[in-house]
């Protein structure tokens, strides 16, 4: 199994956060801020952000 470096993980999480943020904004514009999909994207962003924080703590 190939180990992913912390730098690569950091980049991956940031890219995921930006992608999720874009989807969240698009969905909110289409369906409204209170739609469950908007909440889902917000929670996923929080998860990726927590992953980033854990990664930084382990460096």
Packing angle of the helix pair 36-57, 6-31 (nearest 10 deg): 160
Q: Which residue has the tokens 């180990």?
A: 3
**What is the reported pLDDT for 47?**
96
What per-residue confidence (pLDDT) applies to 53?
A: 92
CA–CA distances in Å: residue 35 to residues 9, 17, 25, 29: 30, 19, 12, 10
pLDDT averaged over 10-residue windows placed end to end, the chain, 59 residues = 75 95 98 97 97 86
Q: What is the pLDDT of residue 6?
A: 85
* Domains: count for the chain: 1
State the Cα–Cα distance between residues 38 and 28, nearest whole angstrom. 6
Token digits of residue 23: 């989807």
pLDDT of residue 1: 43
In a domain, 1, yes or no: no
Residue 19 lies in a domain: yes
- Check residue 3 and give its pLDDT: 59
17 within domain boundaries: yes
Residue 21 sits in a domain whose CATH number is 4.10.280
**Domain membership of residue 51 as a residue range:** 6-57
């Amino acid at each position: 199994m190939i180990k992913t470096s912390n730098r690569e993980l950091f980049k991956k999480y940031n890219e995921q956060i930006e992608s999720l943020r874009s989807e969240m904004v698009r969905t909110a514009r289409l369906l409204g801020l209170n739609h469950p999909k908007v909440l889902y994207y917000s929670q996923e962003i929080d998860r990726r952000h927590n992953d980033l924080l854990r990664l930084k703590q382990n460096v």
